[in-house]
């Protein structure tokens, strides 16, 4: 069965709250470049409160309920995160703590996930990516394998919502292709 014309729905989660966030910019650029094969809905985390188990009950916190619903309805997830102090930002970990509930049955369970990390440093946020992978594995997410996508010197590669590094952009799009292939493969199995 030829599935080349099928569109997959991916939630692009930005791990930065900054108005001029590099992570959000990367997701928006990728959303344009990957369309129509991949429909990326960019989501930011400023409305997600700090995790508090006392609040994790019915009725759900509206912003958390919406976040969980968007992820559950998607075919896959792309997380774009900066690196802060050799790790992932607290807002990313916090959002994942909310999304990880109920334990072993979260909206991330078996969901294909890809990661892009970035940093002004040449290392490109690789240490944040390792922490993020560990958390996602504990949530039973399905990490899409392939070369890690790390964007070093991200501040020099973005100008007016245009990504200046063509090779780097091609590399990111190939990673998205792997995510799409994983999603389409799962559709075949379920059909």
CATH of domain 8-190: 3.40.50.360
The rounded distance, in Å, linking the Cα atoms of 114 and 11 is: 10
The rounded distance, in Å, linking the Cα atoms of 157 and 159 is: 7
Furthest C-alpha separation in the chain: 48
The rounded distance, in Å, linking the Cα atoms of 93 and 184 is: 28
The string of pLDDT tens digits covering residues 166-181 is: 999 999 999 999 999 9
Domain boundaries along the sequence of the chain: 8-190
pLDDT of residue 191: 60
Among the listed residues 140, 10, 129, 115, the one whose alpha carbon sits nearest the alpha carbon of residue 71: 10
The rounded distance, in Å, linking the Cα atoms of 106 and 98 is: 9
Q: Which two tokens stand for residue 18?
A: 């900054």
> Tens-digit pLDDT profile for the chain (191 aa)?
445 689 999 999 999 999 999 999 999 999 999 999 999 999 999 999 999 999 999 999 999 999 999 999 999 999 999 999 999 999 999 999 999 998 889 999 999 999 999 999 988 889 999 999 999 999 999 999 999 999 999 999 998 778 999 999 999 999 999 999 999 998 777 76
């Amino acid at each position: 069965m030829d599935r080349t014309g099928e569109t997959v729905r991916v939630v692009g989660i930005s791990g930065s709250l900054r108005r001029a966030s590099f992570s959000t910019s990367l997701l928006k650029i990728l959303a344009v470049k990957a369309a129509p094969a991949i429909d990326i809905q960019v989501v930011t985390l400023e409305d997600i409160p700090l995790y508090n188990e006392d609040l994790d009950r019915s009725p759900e916190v509206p912003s958390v309920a919406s976040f969980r619903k968007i992820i559950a309805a998607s075919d896959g997830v792309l997380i774009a995160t900066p690196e802060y102090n050799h790790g992932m930002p607290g807002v990313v970990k916090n959002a994942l703590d909310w999304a990880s509930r109920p334990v072993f049955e979260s909206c991330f369970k078996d969901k294909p996930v890809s990661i892009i990390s970035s940093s002004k440093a040449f290392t490109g946020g690789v240490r944040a990516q390792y922490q993020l992978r560990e958390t996602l594995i504990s949530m039973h997410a399905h990490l899409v394998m392939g070369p890690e996508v790390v964007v070093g010197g991200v501040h020099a590669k973005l100008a007016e919502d245009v990504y200046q590094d063509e090779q780097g952009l091609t590399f990111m799009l190939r990673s998205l292709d792997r995510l799409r292939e994983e999603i389409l493969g799962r559709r075949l199995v379920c059909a």
